[in-house]
Structures are given as structure tokens and as C-alpha cells.
């Protein structure tokens, strides 16, 4: 049993294969967090200490006992108003204007299988892999109730959480903050690891010690954002890739969010994550419910690599869905960097024909195929083929591409509208704008109000007509600006604080309809590259365009950061032209391919312009990708170096049965009279022997892992090496 409850002691214990999570209902009905970490087999209540502490108040029912304070005790789900002055998870403005709530334990339920959340993405799993615990808490005065949900997935050392808030009272309340999960630690010195960036430079790893005060990251942009990712790690100071305790908090949500870590006056640490509370206020009328998005917590007692592998497996097997969840995705050619807006149907056909000759399996027609869209100043919202530009209908073009033996994919940006479009002229109120103010433009476009079902319906109708008009097997769902001017024309003034949350629900509703009505469609997420690379999107899109930066060297760091919380199979990654369009860097085409192969692989350049030699290289790369696909997508992923700190970037894939492995190495720098870097392999069976494919040399797993491999030194910048190992 993954979930256990002991009535006498009030202890709830959640167990995974290698972790234990414990909380307790105390004598007053408060829910205290006791422990999360390696298994200890027993009650951890002894960790709680009680002292009379100044300025840390006591609940009224504690009477003269001044040693009992919510300000010092670890909370399971901290609530504002009961004497805990640290950053809370729940803050409610009551009908009388006060902010105090007092939620006490009412009961629990244990169910087999993993709970789901209506309208929101969630990890799924039946009774063979998961159990659910629900804990009910209520505020007697207001009638407010919350249900804390826990989904325990032992195999991956994961516990998911969400919170349902229900108004069972007689008066309307305002939810000012509803976080999804929190972890309180009584002791320990920690680092927190977060992922920051900007457009075309996403998910840079930042590791800093947790210090006194509140450290915060998040997004106010309506999307999870390029700037910060909704994924946090709390790691013991001494934790490394393969050593030490670390905890992940991953928010399965694609909108504005906040992540916080706080070291308090007693050196206790609190880490929490949830939807952004700024510009958020949700009116909960009597009888209404609100669901916080799900957060997935994972624990590793063996370092960060292991923590990442928990998330990789969880998300690959129990979050991603659809036909392409576990089958090879077609190697694609995307025309964006080859043509931008400047193409014709014949040019696209030409690119496809050349690509097919080299082994590419799908042509993706990017931005510019519809409406009046020869620049990014117009056309969004008018999802009708520009037949003049394509020289025929979309179906004609798709048929021609299919005739080559290739699949066809299409770019769309359904959440957006250009002011110069028929849609905007007809429905100006569908776009976000604050009455009487001129809206902030982003990429010269406005954002459609997806919190309104009729707007979602209207765009869905257009997009589904396109999908029904031809054999379209892939869709790239783009989103190219941060949201601003949030105001919904149909929402009452006092409910505007709900709009961004409802927007995300509208987005999910649209994506869910695609999932249900077009089960064979592969949807790739995108937001100006990786501006919405989050676990929420993975529920609908098994792959997400990782970054608009296609330079192999920058991509190494971007993909390195991404790998902490997301599987390689989710990373859309393409070989593009050199010099690179984003930073002008020149790298060998095989290096570009090595980096792009650590993902869902494709090309994004005019293959017709390659030299004959390069074309042969592309042919070989595609053959290699097919050969290694299984170990890359289904194998365990290991980060062998830190490319942000070392010249040598190296990563490795190992099949779960350890019989096969692929190591990729890229030299990020070159020096005279070079020092030879040694890369140590990981994850192999130390006792077994492995033959390296190219040289035929046989090594023991132990030698490769403990002695390492000298990286060959050749003159030349950015060279890539590969070692494919098979057990003998
Ligand atoms: C941003 C995407 O990330 C690019 O790949 C491309 O699709 C452009 N948008 C098209 O406008």
C-alpha cells in the first residue's frame, strides 16, 4: 500500500520505492508536515519541537500553551490567517473583508489509481501504478472546504498534488492565492535550482544557496514563459549529479506561475509552487469549486541525474498521450529558416522533394500559408489558405507532398489575432484590450480572449475546417507574445482576476478537442521556441519546439537545462544552416545533427543548397537517428558534464536493460596543445563488457564509468564524437 493512515496517531504515510512522505493530524485538527526523504520506517513525529517563542503566536485552542505555534511548526498546506507568517499557499478574502481562514481536518479517502482533474492536465495511471489520497479540511465559520489530493506513484518516486477549494458556505469569497504544493523542511542547508532565460536562450540552470528571506521566480506573462520555467529543485548543498538528496517541484500548468523558497527565522525551509497570485483573484460563489493545477514532486537520494530520470519516465509514460507518445516521430523538414514568409507552393514542394531524397519523412509548412500573411503585421486569425501564394488549394499541396511519400504538417497560432485581419475587423472585442486604453502590441499582434468559450469555438471551427480539408498529420501550435491588457469584455469587473486562469482552461479545452477529434494528429507545442515548455503542454503535445535558437552550441546549454525536468523525447530540435541565423556561429553539420538528435529530430534549412558531401552526411544522419531512436527516446538519460562550466559537453543514453548505450560528446572550445578531457560514462553494468561500434574495441562497463574515455583531440572547432556501445 502506497498510502497508509494510522488512526491512533493521526499519521499519513505515503511511500514510493525509495522515498517516504509523512504528515500528521494533530490534536487541534491542524495538518502538520513531518518528513519527506529516504525511507525511515517509522513515525517522524519526534522531529517536531515545541518552545515558547516570542512573536510566534498560538492558536486560541492551545489556551495557555505558548509552545504551540503555526509560525514554527511545519505545515502541510500553509494557510494565511492561522498564525503562520511565512509565505502561504492559500489566501482567501472572506465576505466580511477579512483574510483569516482556519481550516481543520475533517477526514480522508484512499482510492486506487491516480485522480484526474476536470479541464486541467494531470498525470494519469491506473491502480497497477498509483494510489490517491484525499484529505478533507474545513473552515467552520465560512463553510470553505479544501480537499488536498495526493497521487502516489511508487515506481517513479513521485507524489503529485493538487487542491480543490469548495465554497460550502452561504457567502461569496475571493481566492487571492491558491498554490498547488508546498514542502516544509525542519532542518538542512539547501541550494535551490531554477531555470531562467530569455527568448532564444531558455532554461539556463541557476543554483544558489537558500538564504534567509523569500526568493521568488515566476511568470506574469500568461504563459509559463522563456524567462523562468515552472520547475524547481531543492537540493542538499552537497548534492551532485549522482549523489545527495534532491526534491523536484514541477507545475503541470502552462500559464502564469510562481515558485518560492523561503528560509525562516528558525532556519526552516519552505518551497512552494502554484499559479501566479499577482493579478489573480477568483470569486467563489456558494456551491462553486476551484481546482489548482497539479504539481508533481519527486525525490532522489542519489543526486540530480536520478531526479531527472524520474520526471523523464513519469512524463513520457504517464503525462504524454496519443499515438505518438511512444512510437518514432517522423523526421521532419520545416521551411521556416529556409524561406521565412517568402515561399510559393512550388518552392515548398522543391524543399520536400530534396528532403525526401535524403530520407526526411515529413514536410512542415510554417508561418505564412494563410490569410494575408507575407509579413508578421497581418493575417493572424484568418485561417484560410492563401491559394494565390501556394498556387492552389492546401489539399493540392498536401497531395503533392504525400505523393512524394512524405507526411505533411502545418503551423498555426490559434490564440492570436492581427489587427489587419478579417477576424479582428469582425470581432474586435475578441482580443484582449482594456476599455479606453491602447493595448500593448507584441510582434504586432493581439491576444484572443480564450477565457471566452465562444472565441475558442470560433477559432476551433476554423482550424478544424483546415484539418478536415487535407491529409494533415502534424500541427505546430505556436504562440508568439506575452499576454497583456488582460480584460475580458464579457466578464464582470470584479471577476477580471480570473481571466488569465480561464484563458489557460480555454487553451486546454481547445487542445483537448484536438486530442479527441484528431487522435492521429501529432501536435508540437511552441511559443517563440521554448516560451511554453512546460509539463501542462506535454499532456497535449508529446514534443515542444525547445528554442528558436538552432545554433548547436547554444542549444547544448538550452537542452542541458531542459533535461533537468523534461524528457529528451519532448525536445523538438532541428539541424539548421551555418552560419546560424540567430548568432552567426559556424559549426560542422555533424555537430548540429549530434545535438539535434538529443531530441525529436528534424531539419530546418534549404536542403537544396547543401553541397553533395553535406547531402550525403544528412542521409547518414537520418539513418543513424533511426538506428539510435529507441535508445535515445526510451533509454535513460545521463548528463556527463556541465556544458555551462566545461569545454566538453557530453551526455549519454542507456537502455533500461543496460545492453546498449550511446554517448555524444561535443567540444565547445578549442585550444593549442590541448589538455585531453576524460569523460566518465554512467549507467552501464560495471560487470559487463561493451563493444564500441566504430572501433570494435571492447571495454568493461566499469572501465568506461570509473576510468573514463579520453576525448580525441583534433584541430577544428566544435567537433562532435559519438560512442555507440553494445554489450558483448
Ligand atoms: C516562432 C517559432 O518558434 C518559429 O519556429 C516560427 O514558427 C515562427 N514563430 C513563425 O512565425
- Ligand 1 closest atom vs CA 527: 3
Instruction: Output the CA–CA distances (angstroms, integers) from residue 169 to 31, 94, 175, in the order listed.
Output: 22, 11, 14
**Is the CB of residue 475 less than 8 Å from the CB of residue 545?**
no
Q: Which residues of 402-413 are buried (b: 16+ CB within 10 A; e: fewer)?
A: bebebbbbbbbb
Return the pLDDT at 717.
Answer: 87
Return the pLDDT at 716.
Answer: 84
Q: Please return the burial class of 492, using the count of CB atoms within 10 Å of its CB with bins 0-12, 13-18 and 19+.
A: exposed
Task: Give the cell for residue 311.
Answer: 520526471
Return the pLDDT at 714.
Answer: 85
Q: Which amino acids bring their CB within 6 angstroms of ligand 1?
A: 336, 366-367, 411, 478, 480, 526, 528-529, 545, 548
Ligand 1 midpoint to CA 378 (Å): 15
**Is the CB of residue 137 less than 8 Å from the CB of residue 254?**
no
Separation between Cα atoms, residue 158 and residue 114, nearest integer Å: 12
Q: What is the dihedral of CA 212, 213, 219, 224, to 10 degrees?
A: 40
**Is the CB of residue 682 less than 8 Å from the CB of residue 705?**
yes
Separation between Cα atoms, residue 505 and residue 511, nearest integer Å: 10
Separation between Cα atoms, residue 149 and residue 116, nearest integer Å: 10
Sequential DSSP letters for 453-514: HHHHHHHHHHHHHHHHHTT--EEEE---S---S---TTS-GGGGGGHHHHHHHHHHHHHHHH
Closest CA to ligand 1's atom 2:
528
Looking up cell 478536415, which residue turns up?
A: 468
Ligand 1 midpoint to CA 95 (Å): 46
Separation between Cα atoms, residue 109 and residue 44, nearest integer Å: 22
Closest among 634, 624, 716 to 667, alpha carbons compared: 716
Predicted TM-score of the model (pTM): 0.98
Ligand 1 midpoint to CA 478 (Å): 7
- The neighbouring-strand residues paired with 173 are 284
pLDDT block averages, 10 residues each, the chain of length 728: 94 98 97 98 97 96 96 98 97 96 97 98 98 98 97 98 98 98 98 98 98 98 98 98 98 98 98 98 98 98 98 98 95 98 98 98 98 98 98 98 98 98 98 98 98 98 98 98 98 97 98 98 98 98 98 98 98 98 98 98 97 98 98 98 97 98 96 93 98 97 98 90 97
Predicted confidence (pLDDT) per residue in 4-61, tens digit? 999 999 999 999 999 999 999 999 999 999 999 999 999 999 999 999 999 999 999 9
Neighbours of 29 (CB within 10 A): 16
Provide the CB-side half-sphere exposure for 427 (13 A, CA). 20
Separation between Cα atoms, residue 84 and residue 32, nearest integer Å: 12
Q: 322-325 contacts: CB < 8 A, separation 24 or more?
A: 322/515, 322/519, 322/521, 322/522, 322/542, 323/519, 323/520, 323/522, 324/522, 324/542, 324/543, 325/542
Helix (H), strand (E) at residue 248: strand 246-252
Ligand 1 midpoint to CA 570 (Å): 17
Instruction: Show Cβ contacts of residue 663 under 8 Å, excluding neighbours closer than 6 positions.
Output: 640, 650, 651, 652, 679, 681, 709, 722, 723, 724, 725
Separation between Cα atoms, residue 126 and residue 693, nearest integer Å: 40
Closest CA to ligand 1's atom 1:
528
**Which of 333, 340, 370, 480 most suits a substitution to test ligand 1, by most atoms within 8 Å of the C-beta?**
480
Active site members? 534, 614
- Ligand 1 closest atom vs CA 476: 7
Q: Please return the burial class of 169, using the count of CB atoms within 10 Å of its CB with bins 0-12, 13-18 and 19+.
A: buried
Q: Please return the burial class of 9, using the count of CB atoms within 10 Å of its CB with bins 0-12, 13-18 and 19+.
A: exposed
Ligand 1 midpoint to CA 319 (Å): 25
Return the pLDDT at 101.
Answer: 92
Task: Give the cell for residue 476.
Answer: 505546430
Separation between Cα atoms, residue 231 and residue 219, nearest integer Å: 12
Amino acid at each position: 500500500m502506497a498510502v497508509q493512515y494510522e488512526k491512533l496517531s493521526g499519521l499519513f504515510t505515503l511511500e514510493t520505492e525509495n522515498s517516504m512522505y509523512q504528515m500528521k493530524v494533530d490534536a487541534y485538527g491542524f495538518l502538520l508536515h513531518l518528513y519527506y526523504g529516504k525511507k525511515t520506517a517509522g513515525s517522524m513525529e519526534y522531529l517536531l519541537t515545541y518552545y515558547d517563542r516570542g512573536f510566534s503566536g498560538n492558536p486560541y485552542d492551545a489556551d495557555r500553551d505558548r509552545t504551540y505555534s503555526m509560525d514554527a511548526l511545519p505545515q502541510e498546506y500553509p494557510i494565511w490567517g492561522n498564525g503562520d507568517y511565512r509565505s502561504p499557499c492559500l489566501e482567501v478574502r472572506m465576505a466580511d473583508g477579512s483574510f483569516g481562514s482556519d481550516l481543520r481536518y475533517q477526514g480522508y479517502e484512499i482510492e486506487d489509481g491516480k485522480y484526474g482533474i476536470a479541464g486541467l492536465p494531470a498525470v494519469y495511471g491506473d491502480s497497477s501504478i498509483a494510489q490517491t489520497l484525499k484529505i478533507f479540511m474545513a473552515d467552520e465559520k465560512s463553510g470553505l472546504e479544501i480537499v488536498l489530493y495526493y497521487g502516489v506513484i511508487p515506481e517513479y518516486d513521485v507524489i503529485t498534488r493538487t487542491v480543490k477549494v469548495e465554497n460550502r458556505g452561504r457567502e461569496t469569497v475571493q481566492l487571492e492565492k491558491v498554490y498547488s504544493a508546498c514542502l516544509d523542511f525542519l532542518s538542512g542547508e539547501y541550494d535551490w535550482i531554477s531555470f531562467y532565460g530569455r527568448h532564444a536562450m531558455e532554461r539556463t540552470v541557476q543554483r544558489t544557496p537558500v538564504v534567509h528571506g523569500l526568493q521568488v521566480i515566476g511568470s506574469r506573462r500568461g504563459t509559463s514563459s522563456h524567462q523562468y520555467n515552472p520547475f524547481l529543485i531543492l537540493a542538499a548543498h552537497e548534492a551532485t549529479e549522482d549523489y545527495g538528496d534532491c526534491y523536484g517541484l514541477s507545475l503541470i500548468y502552462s500559464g502564469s506561475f510562481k515558485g518560492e523558497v523561503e528560509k525562516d527565522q528558525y532556519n526552516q525551509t519552505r518551497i512552494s509552487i502554484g499559479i501566479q497570485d499577482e493579478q489573480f483573484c477568483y470569486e467563489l460563489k456558494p456551491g462553486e469549486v476551484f481546482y489548482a493545477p497539479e504539481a508533481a514532486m519527486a525525490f532522489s537520494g542519489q543526486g540530480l541525474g536520478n531526479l531527472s530520470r524520474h520526471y523523464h519516465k513519469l512524463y513520457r509514460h504517464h503525462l504524454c498521450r496519443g499515438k505518438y507518445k511512444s512510437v518514432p516521430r517522423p523526421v521532419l523538414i520545416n521551411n521556416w529558416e529556409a524561406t521565412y514568409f517568402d515561399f510559393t507552393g512550388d518552392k515548398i514542394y522543391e524543399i520536400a522533394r530534396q528532403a525526401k531524397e535524403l530520407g526526411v519523412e515529413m514536410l512542415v509548412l510554417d508561418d505564412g500559408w494563410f490569410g494575408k500573411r507575407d509579413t508578421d503585421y497581418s493575417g493572424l486569425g484568418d485561417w484560410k489558405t492563401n491559394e494565390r501564394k501556394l498556387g492552389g488549394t492546401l489539399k493540392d499541396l498536401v497531395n503533392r507532398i504525400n505523393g512524394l511519400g512524405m507526411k505533411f504538417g502545418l503551423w498555426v497560432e490559434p490564440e492570436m489575432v492581427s489587427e489587419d485581419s478579417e477576424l479582428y475587423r469582425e470581432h474586435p472585442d475578441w482580443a484582449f484590450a482594456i476599455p479606453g486604453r491602447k493595448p500593448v502590441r507584441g510582434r504586432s499582434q493581439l491576444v484572443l480572449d480564450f477565457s471566452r468559450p465562444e472565441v475558442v469555438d470560433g477559432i476551433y471551427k476554423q482550424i478544424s475546417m483546415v484539418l478536415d480539408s487535407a491529409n494533415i498529420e502534424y500541427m505546430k501550435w505556436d504562440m508568439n507574445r506575452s499576454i497583456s491588457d488582460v480584460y475580458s469584455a464579457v466578464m464582470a469587473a470584479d471577476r477580471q482576476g480570473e481571466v488569465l486562469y480561464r484563458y489557460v482552461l480555454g487553451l486546454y479545452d481547445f487542445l483537448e478537442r484536438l486530442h479527441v477529434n484528431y487522435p492521429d494528429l501529432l501536435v508540437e507545442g511552441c511559443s517563440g521556441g521554448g516560451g511554453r515548455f512546460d509539463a501542462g503542454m506535454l499532456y497535449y503535445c508529446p514534443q515542444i519546439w525547445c528554442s528558436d535558437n538552432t545554433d548547436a552550441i547554444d542549444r547544448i546549454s538550452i537542452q542541458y537545462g531542459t533535461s533537468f525536468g523534461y524528457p529528451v523525447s519532448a525536445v523538438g530540435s532541428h539541424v539548421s544552416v551555418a552560419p546560424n541565423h540567430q548568432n552567426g556561429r559556424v559549426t560542422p553539420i555533424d555537430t548540429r545533427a549530434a545535438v539535434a538528435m538529443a531530441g525529436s529530430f528534424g531539419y530546418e534549412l534549404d536542403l537544396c543548397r547543401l553541397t553533395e558531401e553535406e547531402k550525403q552526411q544528412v542521409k547518414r544522419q537520418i539513418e543513424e537517428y533511426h538506428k539510435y531512436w529507441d535508445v535515445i527516446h526510451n533509454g535513460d538519460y545521463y548528463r556527463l558534464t556541465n556544458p555551462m562550466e566545461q569545454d566538453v559537453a557530453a551526455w549519454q543514453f542507456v537502455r533500461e536493460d543496460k545492453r546498449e548505450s550511446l554517448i555524444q560528446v561535443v567540444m565547445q572550445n578549442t585550444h593549442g596543445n590541448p589538455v585531453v578531457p576524460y569523460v566518465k560514462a554512467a549507467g552501464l553494468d560495471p560487470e559487463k563488457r561493451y563493444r564500441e561500434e566504430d572501433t570494435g574495441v571492447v571495454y568493461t562497463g566499469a572501465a568506461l564509468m570509473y576510468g573514463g574515455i579520453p576525448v580525441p583531440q583534433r584541430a577544428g572547432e566544435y567537433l562532435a564524437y559519438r560512442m555507440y556501445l553494445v554489450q558483448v
